[in-house]
């Protein structure tokens, strides 16, 4: 049965979708069977990051509404993908999404739920089927504060196994006290650290081209370390 992980953050722009794609690929490279589910209804982006937009015909909303079957909705590749619906529906309830996501767990080792920003309805739908969570923050006060609020909401929803990833980390601004340092991010959120991803311009390019960052790019190396930590391996938090 899969470990179902919701990828969350309190605000937009923290890099949840890039993290989902990058760590999903890294888990697949470790021999794991991975499904990514885009839960950002109306603003979906995983199909762009995976370069499969032209293959999207149905989405997980069509599965819930019984307009298609799993084989029609599932985009199969190195990492399987279920796209997000274009619009909300009254049929999308936490009970139904949890049932759908859990029904897929027998086919995978990991299911990554790419949550929308904020902690409203979309966040609750994504979290409904999760057994654990990764919260993505950038090292600034606004994002860290919003992530702390998302952490509280996840605990309210019954998800206790939550880890923190600091994304877009840069040493120079931290030394100049323009950004928070690692300890400050941990202290302000109260979340155990899973990993640190350095700022990498290649991640921005991948969102436009659908191509993955290079094998030895800073972000790729960080995703590999985080994937190993997710699977229980003991590796350093940061790239050397």
Q: What is the pLDDT of residues 130-165, one digit of tens each?
A: 999 999 999 999 999 999 999 999 999 999 999 999
Of the candidates 9, 63, 75, 68, the residue with the CA atom closest to the CA atom of residue 36: 75
Token look-up 């762009």 returns 48
At 15-61, the pLDDT tens digits run 999 999 999 999 999 999 999 999 999 888 899 999 898 999 999 99
User: Residue 174's pLDDT is what?
Assistant: 77
At 49-82, the pLDDT tens digits run 998 989 999 999 999 999 999 999 999 988 999 9
Helix 218-230 to helix 16-29 angle, to the nearest 10 degrees? 70
Residue 85 backbone dihedrals phi, psi, to 5 degrees: -65, 160
The yes-or-no verdict on residue 208 having pLDDT over 70 is no
Q: Which residues contact 146 (CB under 8 A, 6 or more apart)?
A: 9, 10, 11
Give the pTM: 0.93
- Return the SS3 of 15: coil
User: Residue 207's pLDDT is what?
Assistant: 64
């Amino acid at each position: 049965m899969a470990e179902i992980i919701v990828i969350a953050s309190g605000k937009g722009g923290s890099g949840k979708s890039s993290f989902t794609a990058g760590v999903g690929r890294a888990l697949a490279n470790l021999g794991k069977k991975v499904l990514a589910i885009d839960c950002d209804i109306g603003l979906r982006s995983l199909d762009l990051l995976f370069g499969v937009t032209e293959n999207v015909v149905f989405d997980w909303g069509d599965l819930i509404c019984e307009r298609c079957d799993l084989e029609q909705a599932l985009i199969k590749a190195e990492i399987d993908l279920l796209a997000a619906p274009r619009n909300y529906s009254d049929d999308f309830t936490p009970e139904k999404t949890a049932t759908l996501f859990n029904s897929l767990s027998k086919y995978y080792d990991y299911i990554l739920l790419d949550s929308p920003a904020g902690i409203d309805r979309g966040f609750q739908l994504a979290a409904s089927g999760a057994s654990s969570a990764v919260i993505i923050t950038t090292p600034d006060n606004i994002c860290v504060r919003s992530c702390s609020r998302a952490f509280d909401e996840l605990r309210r929803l019954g998800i206790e196994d939550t880890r923190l990833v600091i994304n877009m980390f840069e040493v120079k601004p931290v030394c100049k006290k323009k950004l928070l340092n690692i300890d400050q991010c941990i202290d302000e959120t109260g979340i155990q650290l899973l990993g640190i991803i350095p700022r990498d311009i290649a991640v921005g390019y991948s969102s436009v081209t659908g191509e993955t960052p290079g094998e030895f790019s800073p972000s790729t190396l960080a995703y590999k370390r985080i994937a190993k930590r997710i699977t229980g391996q003991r590796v350093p938090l940061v790239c050397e």
